[in-house]
Chains A and B, each alone.
Chain A
Amino acid sequence: MNETTIEFTNVEYRIPGRASPPVLDRISLKIHQGETIALLGRSGSGKTTMLKLINRLRTCSSGDLLVENQSVRDWDVIQLRRRIGYVIQEVGLFPHFTIEQNVCLVPGLENWPIERIKSRFAEVMQLVGLHAAQYAGKYPRELSGGQRQRIGVARALAADPAILLMDEPFGALDPVTRAELQREFLSLSRKVSKTTVLVTHDLREALLLATRVVLLDAGRIVAEAGPGDFLKLDQKVARAFIAASELVAGVAQ
């Protein structure tokens, strides 16, 4: 088995200053190098919070979370975040930056030499299937949703991070563009071999992209399976997800 890149041990997260039940409850999970993990769950199941714990946009209330064998508490938070690519739907691009400025943000913050930033821009733009020179000077508002999402992926890959976090990256797209981008992401993730954690509420997306699906419900991990075995699960929430997506397939027939 590959080396462990991210390790949750008994992690709990409560909203600071609130006595309500924890958002995440006794989460333990090992994520290995090169895996693509899908965190699947309904709205409010805690999957996005789990993602945000990894780059410390949220801080664990108790338990421990290791990234590259070091507790996130002990990481310099700025260094930690610059080593982790982060993709969110739509809003993540800076409206006042050109595409090139958006994509090259982290290499710039890390003071890469100009020539290296330039060549890296061309490289990642090619990876996401966009013509670098054609888009460099454009602003996010001039792009379609699908193009913006590609730029979001390019930006996350720019500093060549070992870990990629994706929060419903294809959620805001029309179904045709979404399918197109999912296929592209699949071939891209084979090429770049990152450890990827993907948050989704779409079972099909999880099965298509992930090497392992982790199912969350009310802040706890309730099931875990490879994409081949997930459909055989007997767990209640898993059945609900499977039934819902079969319903969609049924309508199509």
Chain B
Amino acid sequence: MNVWQFFASHRVEILAATREHLTLVLIAMAIAVAIGVPLGLALVTHPRWRAAALVVASIFQTIPSLALFGFLIPLPFLGGIGARTAIIALVLYALLPILRNTYVGLTGIDPAIIEAAEAMGMTEHQILFRVRLPLATSFILAGVRTATVITIGVATIAAAIGAGGLGTFIFRGVAMVSDAVILAGAIPAALLALLADFLLGLLERRLRVV
């Protein structure tokens, strides 16, 4: 059976898996943004924690993804088999690019602009939210974009711990030694990644200030 025949005969299943995949990615990204951006903001006013936070986030990213999924399974509350564990692992992966870009974007602003803001009598808090954050938005979004593309890829491995998604076809295809089945998972995953990259890229350009 070739790829196209497989696509045609498993249309419904592939669509369902794509939806599952997208759900995993969207939930994981929403949580990663909700943690990463505020944490990045906090690091600007508490620079003592900067090194520690970035090192911890980097360590998560160096753990091979399959191993991370494996490590999480035996953990109480967080772990186990299924989507919840997968989402936790995906969040840990997505965190570094978001956190790093948020922090670098917020602190990489022309010092003359920050000094002008100080000279106008803005408080540290006002400078953070009214000058740094708006000027860093497109840079933060670039981090979200990188994280999204990574997460779409890593989420295929989530199938190994029973979280579903497009990885289901890839693992099945490997077991069956069938390129067609592997591609039924890989092609939609690649298309999703390209589409996300394109759409977030558009948004990033729209929000660029200077």
Contacts and interface: CB of A to CB of B under 8 A. Distances in A.
Interface in B27-46: none
Interface stretch (A19-27, A61-69, A77-85): A77-85
B113 A91 contact: yes
Contact of B131 (A82, A94, A109): A94
Contacts, number: 53
A88 B209 CA distance: 21
Nearest to B110: A91
Contact of B116 (A80, A82, A91): A91
Interface string B95-124: 000000000000000101101111111110
A176 to B, nearest CB: 25
Contacts of B110: 91
Interface of B is mostly: helix
B116 A86 contact: yes
A81 B116 contact: no
Chain B contact patch, size range: 10 to 19
Contacts of A84: 119
B121 A106 contact: yes
What 9 A-B pairs have minimum CB-CB distances, sorted nearest first?
Answer: A81-B121, A82-B121, A86-B119, A91-B112, A92-B116, A96-B209, A96-B134, A95-B210, A78-B121
Given A78-B121, A92-B112, A96-B131, 8 more contacts: A81-B121, A86-B120, A94-B113, A94-B117, A105-B120, A106-B120, A109-B121, A155-B120
Interface of B: 110, 112-113, 115-123, 126, 131, 134-135, 209-210
Interface of A: 55, 57, 78-82, 84, 86, 88, 91-96, 105-106, 109, 141, 155
